[in-house]
């Protein structure tokens, strides 16, 4: 089951790929390049509490981080989240787990959530069901070595690409995103900040990557501005609970 819709992902059926692109600035399909150009050239845009009970009055946002853990930048992200008392969800690459055990333990002990981003960050739509399951199970096995009692619930497929084979291969919930920070394509803190703040609204899930210094630079500013706009920060699980209990009308 896909529980978060992406703003620009691909759902691939057989050999035919169809792009679903809805621009978060203007709301029209197939205008991503034009609107991303606007974001890139724009200089500006307009203590934790229980998120599930308080979000009836405050907009919610989920911060998520892909492609880690990274020995250099993930600790800096965790420091910012700790200082700001903000929870997040980290989608981890299995082949990076064994050498980053302390970081992973710190994530969970700090109240963050962990999801799978596959073992080798491969495009799962190019694999058969057995190969997909190997990617997922190898990641689960590596995580169990570090956190024996932690059970993965979520999978974020690399590049946001999924198909029927993936849905058949796993019972994990597939988690995508609604706001792409473009920190992988815009390696500049100001552009990352503007991209997120021009698009954000209540109920959004933002995707970042905790493997570069520009995301770290932008993150503290983004959190501060979201707090100024009275956003409440939640994990993916908490966001899903809110969507189930208080569906949008």
Positions marked catalytic = 66, 209
Cβ(140)–Cβ(154) below 8 Å: no
Question: In 47-134, where do the E strands start and end?
Answer: 60-68, 89-92, 113-116
Q: 60 has which bridge partners?
A: 232
Distance between CA atoms of residues 113 and 127, nearest Å? 27
How many residues are listed for the chain in this entry?
Answer: 249
Cβ(215)–Cβ(183) below 8 Å: yes
Nearest to 92 by CA among 136, 126, 46, 149: 136
Nearest to 73 by CA among 245, 181, 218: 218
| Assigned token pair, 61 | 């946002």
Cβ(139)–Cβ(94) below 8 Å: yes
Secondary structure letter of residue 229 according to DSSP = T
Cβ(115)–Cβ(175) below 8 Å: yes
Q: 173 has which bridge partners?
A: 154
């Amino acid at each position: 089951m896909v529980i978060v819709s992406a703003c620009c992902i691909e759902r691939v059926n057989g050999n035919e790929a169809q792009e679903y692109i809805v621009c978060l600035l203007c709301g029209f399909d197939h205008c991503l390049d034009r609107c991303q150009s606007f974001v890139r050239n724009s200089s500006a845009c307009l203590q934790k509490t229980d998120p599930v009970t308080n979000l009836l009055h405050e907009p919610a946002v989920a911060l998520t981080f892909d492609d880690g853990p990274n020995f250099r930048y993930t600790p800096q992200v965790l420091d910012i989240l700790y200082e700001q008392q903000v929870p997040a969800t980290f989608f981890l690459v299995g082949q990076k787990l064994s050498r980053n055990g302390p970081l992973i333990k710190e994530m969970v002990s700090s109240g963050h959530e962990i999801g799978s981003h596959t073992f080798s960050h491969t495009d799962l739509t190019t694999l058969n069901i057995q190969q997909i399951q190997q990617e997922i199970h190898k990641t689960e096995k590596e995580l169990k070595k570090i956190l024996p009692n932690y059970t993965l619930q979520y999978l974020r497929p690399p590049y946001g690409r999924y198909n029927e084979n993936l849905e058949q291969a796993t019972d994990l919930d597939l988690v995508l995103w609604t706001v792409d920070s473009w920190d992988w394509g815009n390696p500049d803190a100001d552009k990352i900040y503007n991209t997120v703040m021009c698009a954000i609204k209540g109920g959004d899930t933002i995707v970042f990557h905790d493997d570069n210094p520009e995301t770290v630079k932008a993150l503290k500013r983004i959190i501060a501005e979201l707090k100024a706009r009275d956003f409440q920060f939640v994990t993916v699980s908490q966001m899903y609970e809110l969507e189930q209990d208080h569906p949008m009308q």
